[in-house]
Amino acid sequence: MDMQTIIADWKANAERHVDRNFRFLRSLKMKNERAVDRAARRLHDEAFSIIDCIQCSNCCKTVSPMFIEEDIGRIAQHLKMTEADFKVTYLEPDELGDLFLKSVPCPFLADDGRCTIYEVRPKDCAEYPHIGRGEIKIEGLPVFTDQAGPFGSTTSDFERTMVRLDTARIMMVIISFIGAEGMDVALERAAGLLTKYAAATKIEAGVVEEYDPEEEACWLGRTSESGHRPP
Q: What's the rounded Cα separation, in Å, for the pair 225 and 229?
A: 9
Buried b or exposed e, range 53-85, using 16+ CB within 10 angstroms: eeeebebbeebbbebeeebbebbbeebebeeee
pLDDT of 230: 38
Residue 135, in any domain of the structure:
no
Among 127, 150, 177, identify where a domain stops: 127
User: What is the predicted pLDDT for the residue at 105?
Assistant: 95
Instruction: Determine how many CB atoms are found less than 10 A away from the CB of residue 121.
Output: 20
Residue type present at position 228: H
Q: Is 170 domain-assigned?
A: yes
Question: Distance between CA atoms of 114 and 55, rounded to whole angstroms?
Answer: 9
Task: Compute the C-alpha angle 162/166/172, nearest 5°.
Answer: 45
Judgement on whether residues 221 and 170 belong to the same structural domain of the protein: yes
Contact criterion met (CB below 8 Å) for 57 and 63: no
**121 and 168 together in one domain:** no
- CA of residue 214 relative to chain centroid, distance: 30
Residues 174 and 219 in one domain: yes
Torsion of CA 186, 192, 197, 200, to 10 degrees: 110
Number of domains present in the structure of the chain: 2
DSSP output for 9-63 = HHHHHHHHTHHHHHHHHHHGGGS-HHHHHHHHHHHHHHHHHH--HHHH-HHHHH-
CB-based burial, 177-216: b 16+ in 10 Å, e otherwise: eeeeeebeeebebbbbeeeeeeebeeeeeeeeeeeeeeee
Neighbouring C-beta atoms of residue 117, cutoff 10 Å: 17
Between CA 69 and CA 115 the distance in angstroms is: 20
Given 111, 127, 143, the domain boundary residue is 127
Average pLDDT across each block of 10 residues of the chain; the chain has 231 residues. List them in order: 78 86 76 75 82 85 94 97 97 89 96 95 88 58 78 70 79 80 86 85 82 45 34 37
What is the span of the domain harbouring residue 221? Answer: 163-225
Tell whether 208 is covered by a domain: yes
Q: Which amino acid is at 99?
A: L
pLDDT value for 140: 64
pLDDT given at position 231:
37
Count CB atoms within 10 A of the CB of residue 22.
Answer: 19
Of the residues 74, 106, 127, which one is the last residue of a structural domain? 127
